[in-house]
């Protein structure tokens, strides 16, 4: 069997973008590289402080180990900055978007939004975590990037994807022509096509929600959870969106983080979590809604805006939003 590497795949598919000049391919290549480095850092996370530190493996300045989410943010930021095509990045880790100031970046046609390391509560306990990203075309025409460049609806995404650092590391992405998944072979440091043209089952038997919040959910959401139990569906909730999403994508299921009376917009962020995963799930045949609207059609008003999220198998999302 012939193996297809991610780099080959990106080049082969370059013609799918209008006016392809290789810019988007280079950005995806930079995501790939950062993903490999973060994967390496994640894999030695448990070692870093206790073992390596004890063995005298501190860095030269004797600095304390940085938190992994900060490290991931810097690595992805630098990878994007190194690409002249990216004019700026909005990250869940940073309050404001970052504008790259090199001559080439100022002419950059793309911007990126990202959650560099999602699943923060799982970082220190050896449970799967992930990176989520979206790529948009810059829309402002002046010299400086404008908020409107970042506040585009999800329908404007040019590409989106995630990296899951799990029992193996996978990179899954779409450019609007289906979804493809690549598994990192650590022995050669290469992502290889392992899940071509991913489709999610139309109906599933897994529901993923933090049921500890049950009493704060709307009547409709509670009724839906009750129905899942009635049907003996499996409850699966890792607490890392990427990992819950990835499992449900493959097996069929629904993930939801609804609003509550105290937090009507839930917890998750539209730009860094909702939109990229909504783009992927729709490309795989599933649905994503905030309860009343298609996630991809929401017009963002601020960078860190939250939105309720119901995402996964089509029939399940349709049912819960009707409830
Ligand atoms: P984070 O961006 O701070 O990591 O928060 C997002 C995470 C998701 O990965 C996960 O699904 C959810 O928060 C879990 O939240 P909770 O612990 O409230 O169930
Ligand atoms: Mg997050």
Quote the tokens at residue 207: 């529901």
pLDDT band at 53 (very low <50, low <70, confident <90, very high): very low
Residue 175 pLDDT > 90, yes or no?
yes
Residues in the chain: 323
Q: Tell how far the Cα of 117 is from the centroid of ligand 2, in angstroms.
A: 7
Domains of the chain: 6-195 (3.30.540.10), 206-322 (3.40.190.80)
Note the pLDDT tens digit of each residue in 215-271.
Answer: 999 999 999 999 999 999 999 999 999 999 999 999 999 999 999 989 999 999 999
308 Cβ inside 6 Å of ligand 1: no
132-148 confidence digits (pLDDT tens) = 999 999 999 988 999 99
* Ligand number nearest to the C-alpha of 243: 1
**Nearest-angstrom CA–CA distance, 204 and 207:** 8
Rounded-to-integer distance, Cα 147 and Cα 171, Å: 29
Which residue CA neighbors atom 5 of ligand 1 most closely? Answer: 119
Mean pLDDT of the chain: 92
Could you identify the atom of ligand 1 that is nearest to the CA of residue 130? 9
Distance CA 163, CA 35 (A): 7
Ligand 1 pocket test target in 93, 113, 118, 276 with most atoms within 8 Å of CB: 118
Residue with CA nearest ligand 1 atom 2 = 118
> What is the share, in percent, of the chain residues with pLDDT greater than 70?
92
Is the distance from the beta carbon of residue 214 to the nearest atom of ligand 1 less than 6 Å?
Answer: no
> Is the pLDDT higher at 88 or at 124?
88
* 309 within 8 A of 274, measured Cβ to Cβ: yes
Residues in contact with 35: Cβ distance below 8 Å, sequence separation at least 6, in sequence order: 131, 163, 169, 171, 184, 191
β-pairing verdict for 86-91 and 98-99: antiparallel
Give buried/exposed letters for 161-186 (b at 16+ CB in 10 A, else e).
Answer: bbbbbbeebbbbbbbeeebbbbbbee
pTM of the full structure = 0.94
Q: Which of 173, 166, 175 is nearest to 118 (CA)?
A: 166
50: exposed, middle or buried (Cβ count in 10 Å: 0-12, 13-18, 19+): exposed
Ligand showing the shortest atom-to-Cα distance for residue 128: 1
The DSSP symbol for 133 reads E
Q: What is the C-alpha to C-alpha distance for residues 262 and 266, in angstroms, rounded to an integer?
A: 9
Give the angle subtended at the CA of 89 by the CAs of 147 and 166, to the nearest 5°: 135
Residue 266 Cβ inside 6 Å of ligand 1? The answer reads: no
CA-nearest of 131, 151, 16, 162 to 88 is 151
The answer, yes or no, to whether any atom of ligand 1 lies below 6 A from the CB of 5, is no
User: How far is CA 61 from its chain centroid?
Assistant: 33
pLDDT at residue 129 greater than cutoff 50: yes
Measured by CA distance, the residue closest to atom 7 of ligand 1 is 119
Q: Name the residue of 69, 72, 241, 269 to mutate for ligand 1: max ligand atoms within 8 A of Cβ.
A: 241
DSSP 218-232: -HHHHHHHHHHHHTT
Residue 47 has a pLDDT of 67
């Amino acid at each position: 069997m012939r193996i297809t590497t991610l780099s080959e795949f990106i080049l082969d598919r370059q013609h799918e973008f209008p006016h392809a000049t290789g810019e988007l391919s280079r950005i995806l290549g930079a995501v790939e590289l950062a993903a490999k480095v973060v994967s390496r850092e994640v894999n030695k996370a448990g070692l870093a402080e206790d073992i390596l530190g004890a063995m005298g493996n501190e860095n030269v300045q004797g600095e304390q180990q940085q938190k992994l989410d900060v490290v991931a943010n810097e690595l992805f930021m630098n990878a994007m900055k190194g690409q002249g095509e990216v004019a700026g990045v909005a990250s869940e880790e940073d309050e404001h978007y970052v504008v790259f100031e090199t001559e080439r970046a100022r002419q950059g046609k793309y911007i990126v939004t990202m959650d560099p390391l999602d699943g923060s509560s799982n970082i220190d306990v050896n449970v799967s975590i992930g990176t989520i990203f979206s790529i948009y075309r810059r829309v402002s025409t002046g010299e400086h990037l404008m908020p409107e460049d970042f506040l585009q609806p999800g329908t404007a995404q040019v590409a989106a994807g995630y990296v899951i650092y799990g029992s193996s590391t996978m990179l899954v992405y779409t450019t609007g022509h289906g979804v493809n998944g690549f598994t990192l072979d650590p022995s050669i440091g290469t992502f290889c096509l392992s899940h071509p043209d991913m489709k999610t089952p139309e109906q599933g038997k897994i529901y993923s929600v933090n049921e500890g919040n049950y009493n704060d959910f709307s009547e409709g959401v509670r009724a839906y959870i009750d129905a899942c139990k009635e049907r003996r569906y499996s409850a699966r909730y890792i607490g890392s969106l990427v990992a819950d999403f990835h499992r449900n994508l493959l097996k069929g299921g629904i993930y939801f983080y609804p609003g509550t009376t105290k937090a009507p917009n839930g917890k998750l962020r539209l730009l860094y979590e909702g939109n990229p995963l909504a783009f992927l799930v729709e490309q795989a045949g599933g649905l994503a809604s905030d309860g009343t609207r298609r996630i991809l059609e929401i017009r963002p008003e601020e960078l860190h805006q939250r939105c309720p999220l119901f995402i996964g198998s089509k029939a399940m999302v349709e049912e819960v939003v009707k409830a």
